[in-house]
Amino acid sequence: MKKQDVIFVIIVAIAVVVMSYLLSCCAMYEEPVFDTPKVSSGVIMHIEYYPNRLLCTMRDGRMVMLVGIGTPNPTVSYRKMSIDLFTKLAVGEVARIEYGEKQVYSDFISAYIFVGNMFINAEMVERGYAKYMPTDGNSKYNFRFASLETEAKKAKRGIWAFTEDW
């Protein structure tokens, strides 16, 4: 065997080894798969009844619960004030929906809702028409919601002007 043939065989062998290594590295990497997108958008059509929570229906039929905040129980007269503000801020608007870190319920999406630059969940708490209500596994904005609630209570904004606790 000529020297050139030996060198060629060695180069081919090295190429095969390198290619095998690269292919095995690629095979070990798997693209993460999500059951639902982390962010989506849609038009909010109307608000639904759900005890102590704001739940809205999107034009495409998805049900979205505003995560991290709560509203007065339906039996409390102040609930209508919360619903009216949400309707004014969000119903009929195109919203960006940021999915909560943990999807707790199977019937609807737990999410943070943004209309333009306005963070609806936070706006409701800041104006005193919703309160901080932690949701299992969804803590991204907990500190913000708690701080906004404290400020709203001190300033007696929204429902806090009429009651100490609800």
Helices (H) and strands (E) in the chain, counts: 4, 8
The neighbouring-strand residues paired with 64 are 56, 109
List the domain boundaries for the chain.
1-33, 39-161
Tokens of 152: 């709203």
pLDDT number for residue 158? 93
> Would the pLDDT of 100 be above 60?
yes
Taking domain 39-161, whether its CATH number is 2.40.50.90 is answered by: yes
Integer Cα distance of 161 and 39 in angstroms: 35
Tokens of 108: 């609807």
DSSP 8-class letter at 158: G
The 10s digit of each residue's pLDDT in 61-82 is 888 888 899 888 766 778 888 8
3-class DSSP state of 107: coil
Range from 48-57, 85-94, 110-119, 147-156 that averages highest in pLDDT: 147-156
Integer Cα distance of 109 and 138 in angstroms: 12
Q: What is the identity of the amino acid at 15?
A: A
pLDDT number for residue 21? 67
Integer Cα distance of 76 and 160 in angstroms: 13
Q: What is the identity of the amino acid at 88?
A: K
What mean pLDDT value characterizes the chain? 81
The 10s digit of each residue's pLDDT in 5-37 is 778 778 877 877 777 766 665 544 343 333 444
pLDDT number for residue 55? 81
> Would the pLDDT of 106 be above 80?
no
pLDDT number for residue 50? 65
Please state the pTM of the whole predicted model. Answer: 0.72
